[in-house]
Amino acid sequence: MAKIGIMSFAHMHAYGYAASLAEVPNATFTAIWDDNAKRGRAAAKQFGTRFVPRLENFLDSDLDGVIITSENMRHRELVEAAAAAGKWILCEKPLAPAVKDAKAIVAACRKAKVGLGTAFPCRYVPALMAARAQIQAGQYGEIHAACCTNHGQNPGGWFADPKLSGGGATMDHTVHVADLLRWILGKEFTRVYCELDNVLHGKSLKTDDLGCVHLEMEGGVQVSHIASWSRAKSFPIWGDVTLEFIGEKGVLNVDAFNQKIDVYSDTTMRHTYAPWGDNPDLGLVAEFAAAVDERRDPAITGEDGLRATEVTVAAYQSMKAGRMIKV
C-alpha to C-alpha distances, 56 to 35, 45, 76, 90, 211, nearest whole angstrom: 12, 21, 16, 19, 39
Residue 181: burial class (beta carbons within 10 Å; 0-12, 13-18, 19+): buried
| Intervals of the chain under pLDDT 50 | none
pTM: 0.96
The reported pLDDT for the residue numbered 324 is: 97
pLDDT for the residue 239: 84
Q: How far apart are CA 239 and CA 275, in angstroms?
A: 13
* Size (the chain), residues: 327
Q: How far is CA 80 from CA 17, 102, 197, 243, in A?
A: 21, 11, 33, 35
Report the distance separating Cα 77 and Cα 209, nearest Å: 27
pLDDT of residue 204: 82
Domains and CATH numbers, the chain: 2-121+281-296 (3.40.50.720), 123-280+309-326 (3.30.360.10)
In whole angstroms, give the CA distance from residue 307 to residue 194: 17
The pLDDT tens digits of the residues spanning 183-229 come to: 999 999 999 999 999 999 988 899 999 999 999 999 999 999 999 99
Give residue 267's pLDDT.
87
Q: What CA–CA distance (Å, rounded) separates 99 from 198?
A: 23
**What 3-state class would DSSP assign to 149?**
strand
Q: What is the SS3 assignment for 11?
A: coil
pLDDT in tens, 61-95: 999 999 999 999 999 999 999 999 999 999 999 99
Q: Check residue 290 and give its pLDDT.
A: 98
**263-271 contact pairs (CB < 8 A, 24+):** 270/234, 270/236, 271/234, 271/236
